[in-house]
Chain A
Amino acid sequence: MPSTGGRIAPGTARRATVLAVLVALAVAAALASLAVGARSSAGLDDVVRAVVRYDPAVDDQLVVRDLRGPRTVLALLVGGALGLAGGVMQGLTRNPLADPGLLGVNAGAALAVVLGFSVFGVVTPGGYLWFALGGAAVAGGVVFTLGTLGRGGASPAKLAIAGAAVSALLGSATASLLLIDAATLDLYRFWVVGSVATRDLTSAAAVAPVIAVGAVLALASARSLNGLALGDDVARSLGQHVGRARATAAAAVILLCGGATAAAGPIWFIGLTVPHVARAVAGPDHRWLLPFSALLGAGLLAAADVVGRVIGRPGELEVGVVAAFLGGPIFIAFVRRRRIAEL
């Protein structure tokens, strides 16, 4: 097998093993999420019984099933969506720094959601999901175009700067709306922190279809992403429809990000770091990279939620905060180590 710079592209058998390991990790994270709580921890047998043979009379099982169950499901769903979206984004923009937060997608969704709250009075996840999708689409498109301006096309740093500029614009508009409308602020501040704390499955159920469609599109575009990685010209000469591939991938990103953000609020850095770890074990082939990213993302977010509950006892530290404080230093370390060429 060819070896590139220390990362080995493993054979299929090996990848399958890793895949199984990742599934196991995700399950473990989920179990931990069910077992560990802000106030108490349930035993493993209670957890298993709560899932398999539910007895509402047992207190521990009640907590597991009703309180922690929904949030675990949401964490897995949102984490998976974000990891997958990050992988597609990085392949689509050929940019190792792609992340829904960095590229302004989060800010677009946030502004749209606030508009939904304040102007249209839409307060259910199922409702403001559509706003989030629209905001994500517009912001992402603007950032990508701005970051491609000028000589040299889209470079990682230029895209990040464009993303930051657009985020600043949208953030300012958002903040202005919030200043005027206190009721909206009261709703918004609990959403924007990024949290999977939920008591039932309505959020998850509302966004699941959208995320499912996004996931299908993402996995379907794996092949074309492999081609795009070689550059547009080479991809075309290999017979790919570059425009169509781009559009499909972009649609996947928007659906995944929009759905995830609508359900759990904007969460940073999961989409950035997960694909890098996944690439280290899976290699650059997107047909493996994307499922790995999804699994890793799911497990990571569930684990982050557990960490947040443990650290924040007796309250909790929202998963968005944990993700930012874990992912932030990793991002900064990454930036410091790489030699970023000046344009």
Chain B
Amino acid sequence: MSRGPAARPTAAPGGAAVAVDHGDTGHDGTSGAVAVARAGRVVALRAGPLSTRIDTRSVAVSLVLAALVVAGLCWSVTVGDSSIPLSDVLGELFGWGGNPDSDFVIWHLRLPRILTGVLVGAAFGLSGQVFQRLVHNPLASPDILGVSSGAAAGAVLHLAFIGGSSRAVTVSALVGAALTVALVNLLAFGRGRSSYRIVLVGIGLSAMLNAAVAHLSTRITLNDAQRATVWLTGSLSGRDWSYVRPLAVVLAVLLPLTMIAARQLRALELGDDAAQGLGVEIGRAKLLLSLTGAALAAVATAAAGPVGFVALVSPQIARRLVGTRAAGLVPAALVGSVVVVFADLLARRLFAPTELPVGAVTAIVGAPYLLWLLARANRIGSNP
């Protein structure tokens, strides 16, 4: 398995390329066939010049989580002001016939709402994973980067000066979130390349935006103020297919982008110097990562408001389930979906018939998590 003498570098004048085996020739023998090599829980898949590495436990955990999401979704659909039997739900969803009476409730009320929750949870989970690894801090989360404040500011500005339907307000919220993200990146990357700088600038900008929101809230009617308050906490009420479709499309684009950008995280986590030594253009990599992470959060916030704590908690839960530091994006996203689906279930039924906003429930989940982090403080060697 060691490199033979042919690969030993020779010093040639003028700087010839180093003769190190890049794997192009492939030591796995048959090119064209897929070779599978296993070492412990890591499985390497190779086909010619293509290769990837899969962690078996990560895959197993992801499958279980996906099953949980589906199960949670089905259960959530059965539950509500009018309870629908599971057989009917499954019948409707999988097409083996169900009860036409519950058709409307399932397809137009509950399913889109819960699907929105699934997608929002995935987006937040992904976003949180990217930021926590980028900033080397388990408390880093897009919530604090100005995304939520930007969305709230956009919404309130709209309500104060334009007024109008919820749909239009959503668009303004998205614009607000996107502008804020752009501004944070502009300000944070002007000089130097510290990951903390993004977060701190985000905090500062959030404070200003929150002040603006607070001021405008005193200028508008109580009714509008209530509508604005919705943007201060996440809620899935009234989410129909017009939310699900754009969200799904955007996520389908962002997910592969994020996965490609996230490759650089493996080097960035080692510190700026080591990352540069490994050939990463750190300014560009950090910018790309923070933009994709922020885009995910912005889109999710526009769809459901700032559902707090999903982005914070999901990566940590995923990490604990998968068992290694290198917990990937997919488990984090799936955990996010699970959290939101079950939180929404609680939110809808806990104080039935009053519906809590899902953000309230996730905040309540977040509190014990923070306390648990506190309790861990006594253990030595924990490195944020």
- B364 at the A/B interface (Cβ < 8 Å)? yes
Interface SS majority for chain A: helix
User: Which of B27-35, B81-89, B136-144, B331-339 contacts its partner?
Assistant: B136-144
Whether A164 contacts B199 in the complex (CB less than 8 A), given A172-B308, A173-B363, A185-B226, comes out as yes
- A335 at the A/B interface (Cβ < 8 Å)? yes
Q: How far is the CB of A152 from chain B (nearest CB, A)?
A: 8
- Range, interface on chain A: 35 or more
Taking CB atoms, residues of chain A closer than 8 Å to B50 are none
Q: Please tell me if the beta carbons of B229 and A175 are within 8 angstroms of each other in the complex.
A: yes
Taking CB atoms, residues of chain A closer than 8 Å to B383 are 150-151
Q: Please tell me if the beta carbons of A175 and B359 are within 8 angstroms of each other in the complex.
A: yes
Rounded to whole angstroms, the CA-CA distance of A145 and B372 in the bound complex is 12
Q: Mask for B357-384, Cβ within 8 A of A = 1, else 0?
A: 1011011101100100110110001111
Taking CB atoms, residues of chain B closer than 8 Å to A142 are 370, 374
- A182 at the A/B interface (Cβ < 8 Å)? yes
Q: Please tell me if the beta carbons of A193 and B211 are within 8 angstroms of each other in the complex.
A: yes
Q: Mask for A170-187, Cβ within 8 A of B = 1, else 0?
A: 011111101110100110
Closest chain A residue to B191, Cβ basis? A336
Q: Please tell me if the beta carbons of A332 and B215 are within 8 angstroms of each other in the complex.
A: no
How many pairs, one residue from A and one from B, have CB atoms within 8 Å of each other in the complex? 201
Taking CB atoms, residues of chain A closer than 8 Å to B235 are 179
Interface residues in B302-320 by Cβ distance below 8 A to A read: 306, 308-309, 312
Rounded to whole angstroms, the CA-CA distance of A174 and B214 in the bound complex is 14
- A168 at the A/B interface (Cβ < 8 Å)? yes
Taking CB atoms, residues of chain A closer than 8 Å to B190 are 336
- B102 at the A/B interface (Cβ < 8 Å)? no
Taking CB atoms, residues of chain B closer than 8 Å to A331 are 200, 204, 207
Rounded to whole angstroms, the CA-CA distance of A324 and B216 in the bound complex is 14
Interface residues in A309-333 by Cβ distance below 8 A to B read: 317-318, 320-321, 323-325, 327-329, 331-332
Q: Please tell me if the beta carbons of B199 and A157 are within 8 angstroms of each other in the complex.
A: yes
- A160 at the A/B interface (Cβ < 8 Å)? yes
Interface residues in A151-175 by Cβ distance below 8 A to B read: 151, 157-158, 160-169, 171-175
Q: How far is the CB of A114 from chain B (nearest CB, A)?
A: 12
Q: Please tell me if the beta carbons of B229 and A171 are within 8 angstroms of each other in the complex.
A: no
Taking CB atoms, residues of chain B closer than 8 Å to A268 are 207, 211
Rounded to whole angstroms, the CA-CA distance of A227 and B376 in the bound complex is 29
- A41 at the A/B interface (Cβ < 8 Å)? no
- A148 at the A/B interface (Cβ < 8 Å)? yes
Rounded to whole angstroms, the CA-CA distance of A146 and B371 in the bound complex is 9
- B212 at the A/B interface (Cβ < 8 Å)? yes
Q: Please tell me if the beta carbons of B217 and A172 are within 8 angstroms of each other in the complex.
A: no
Q: How far is the CB of A99 from chain B (nearest CB, A)?
A: 9
Q: Please tell me if the beta carbons of A335 and B144 are within 8 angstroms of each other in the complex.
A: no
Taking CB atoms, residues of chain A closer than 8 Å to B197 are 335-336, 340
Taking CB atoms, residues of chain A closer than 8 Å to B327 are none
Taking CB atoms, residues of chain A closer than 8 Å to B308 are 168-169, 171-172
Taking CB atoms, residues of chain A closer than 8 Å to B360 are 172-173, 175-176, 179
* 15 A-B interface contacts by CB (under 8 A): A146-B139, A161-B140, A165-B141, A169-B367, A172-B233, A173-B363, A178-B229, A180-B354, A189-B217, A193-B217, A321-B214, A325-B208, A332-B200, A340-B192, A342-B196
Q: Which 7 A-B pairs have the closest CB atoms?
A: A176-B360, A324-B211, A172-B363, A175-B232, A164-B144, A175-B233, A328-B208
Q: A165-B139, A328-B204 are in contact. List 12 more A-B contacts (CB 8 A).
A: A97-B200, A149-B373, A161-B196, A161-B199, A169-B367, A172-B363, A175-B359, A179-B226, A189-B214, A189-B217, A331-B204, A343-B136
